[in-house]
Amino acid sequence: MLALALVLAPASAWGQTVTSVNGVQVITGNDPAPLRPPVRTHPTSAPRASVALTSRLGSVIAERALAFQGVRYVFGGTSPYSGFDCSGFVQYVFATVGIRIPRTADAQFAAGRPVPSANPQPGDLVFFQTYDYGPSHVGIYLGGGRFVQEIAPNVHVSDFNSPYFRSRYIGARRLIPS
Tell me, what DSSP letter sits at residue 79?
E
Candidates 42, 121, 149, 156; catalytic one: 149
Distance CA 53, CA 148 (A): 21
Which one is catalytic: 91, 108, 137, 156?
137
How is 86-140 classified by DSSP, letter by letter? HHHHHHHHHHTTT----SSHHHHHHHSEEE-TT---TT-EEEE--SSSS--EEEE
Q: Catalytic residue among 86, 91, 108, 121, which?
A: 86
Active-site residue 42, yes or no? no
Catalytic site residue 156?
A: no
Q: Is 91 a catalytic residue?
A: no
Q: Would you please indicate which residues are annotated as catalytic (active-site) residues?
A: 86, 137, 149
